[in-house]
Amino acid sequence: MIERVRTFDVAILPKDIDCSALTEQNADLFYTAAYYSEPLLKDVVSEFEDALEKEAGLVGKVLRETKTVEIKKGGITLTVTATPSSKTSYMEVGKAIDQYLTDLETANESGLRRDGVRRIDDRACISIDEVLARMDCLIKENTTPVTNVKIDYTKPREDPAKTVRLLAVEPGTYGKVTENNAEIYRLAKEQLKLLAGKVTKPFNTALKAETGFSAEHLPTEMTVDSFGVGRYIFMVTSIPKRDVKYGEAAKAFIAHVKQCQENSEGVRERDGVEYLVINELVNEYRALVAENTKPIMEQRVGLLPNPKYDRVLVSF
């Protein structure tokens, strides 16, 4: 028989909760938080905030100046602040610079000619103005306007009697800005902060520490460690990686080209046009990428039940 479930009870945790030890009780608490409470509460928050932005008149609009809207529901004041901004994907800019320089280098080695490039002292050079113009173009191509939305609310009062122990959550019913939904939204937001700060993050940190790996002690290859805690088996996968900060390399490269133009370092002038050697630009950029590359580790935590087998029967 299949039973339709509409309402889910989510336990309200006290602020003094501590889940930093790998105990059986904390394993149960982590499982409930990560796989039940957090997903439900995040759905509440997402649904209600979408409704808030719609009621504030911010959906589908590109703002030119900051807009603040206050919405009061019962004893709660919800403040929606929308700020126009822009977002540049410097990773894409960095990769595009690498491709641009590689194309210049390849064309030079193949003896191809193109505007803005000429040989000076038997070395292929490119005009500084063209390089800077191309950098500006790459930044514009990878920059999009965005609206940053921040939502504040009046903080809840302390509940010394701890009268609220369970929160009834009904997914799909928080698409309207009502007093009841505002109350549940605020409680969901406060609980999500608590769950992340006191339950899931510290428990994950303790699990990862059990592997013996850290930023100072990285694995040489992907390693899987498994730990049984209570009714669960936690699998921690540690993966060595290289973190390339393309954004920092791109910014440093653009600054380098501008500095060369200002102090004439490495600049070759012909017919009133300032040039830089292509090969030197390529080497400079690759050196900057190397400077902004460091080994890091990604660690993923997976969870399995710890079953007990009795012939063909399985119990948990």
Q: Are 72 and 124 found together in one domain?
A: no
Q: Are 280 and 166 found together in one domain?
A: no
With tokens 């889940």, the residue in question is 19
Q: Is residue 43 part of a domain?
A: yes
End-to-end CA distance of the chain: 22
Q: Which of 11, 26, 47 is nearest to 176 (CA)?
A: 47
Q: Which of 92, 99, 69 is nearest to 82 (CA)?
A: 69
Residue-level pLDDT, tens digit, the chain, 316 residues: 899 999 999 999 888 899 999 999 999 999 999 999 999 999 999 999 999 999 988 877 778 899 999 999 999 999 999 999 999 898 898 889 888 888 887 877 666 666 668 888 888 888 999 999 999 999 999 999 888 899 999 998 776 545 558 889 999 999 999 999 999 999 999 999 999 999 999 999 999 999 999 989 999 999 999 999 999 999 999 999 999 998 899 999 999 999 999 988 889 988 888 999 988 999 999 999 999 999 999 999 999 888 777 665 656 5
Q: Are 203 and 261 found together in one domain?
A: no
Taking the C-alpha atoms of residue 206 and residue 299, their distance in angstroms, rounded to an integer, is 12
Residue type, 122: D
Which one of 190, 212, 234 terminates a domain?
A: 212
Q: Are 97 and 58 found together in one domain?
A: no
Q: Are 121 and 166 found together in one domain?
A: no
Residue type, 72: K
Beta-bridged to residue 244, according to DSSP, are 293
Q: Is residue 316 part of a domain?
A: no
Q: Are 50 and 115 found together in one domain?
A: no
Q: Is residue 267 part of a domain?
A: yes
Q: Which of 36, 41, 40, 34 is nearest to 19 (CA)?
A: 34
Q: What is the pTM of this model?
A: 0.84
**DSSP per residue over the chain, as a string?**
-------EEEE---TT----S--HHHHHHHHHIIIIIHHHHHHHHHHHHHHHHHHTT-TT---SS-EEEEEEETTEEEEEEEEEEEEE-HHHHHHHHHHHHHHHHHHHHTT---TTEEEETTEEEEEHHHHHHHHHHHHHHTEEEEEEEEEEEPPPPP-TT----EEEE-TT--SS--HHHHHHHHHHHHHHHHHIIIIIHHHHHHHHHTTT--SSS--SS-EEEEEEETTEEEEEEEEEEEEE-HHHHHHHHHHHHHHHHHH-TT-EEETTEEEEEHHHHHHHHHHHHHHTEEEEEEEEEEEEE--EEETTEEE-
Pairing mode of beta strands 232-244, 223-229: antiparallel
Q: Give the total number of structural domains in the chain.
A: 2
pLDDT at 258: 93
Q: Is residue 1 part of a domain?
A: no
Instruction: List the domain range (segments joined by +) for residue 107.
Output: 88-143+244-292
Q: Is residue 99 part of a domain?
A: yes
Q: Is residue 219 part of a domain?
A: no
Q: Are 92 and 124 found together in one domain?
A: yes
Q: Are 201 and 272 found together in one domain?
A: no
Pairing mode of beta strands 293-305, 273-277: unpaired
Which one of 212, 232, 253 terminates a domain?
A: 212
Q: Is residue 190 part of a domain?
A: yes
Q: Are 179 and 66 found together in one domain?
A: yes
Q: Are 12 and 44 found together in one domain?
A: yes
pLDDT at 156: 85
Q: Is residue 221 part of a domain?
A: no
With tokens 């769950």, the residue in question is 195
Supply 66's token pair. Answer: 């900051």
Torsion of CA 219, 223, 227, 231, to 10 degrees: 140
With tokens 């694995």, the residue in question is 219
Q: Are 139 and 196 found together in one domain?
A: no
Q: Are 53 and 133 found together in one domain?
A: no
Taking the C-alpha atoms of residue 125 and residue 277, their distance in angstroms, rounded to an integer, is 4
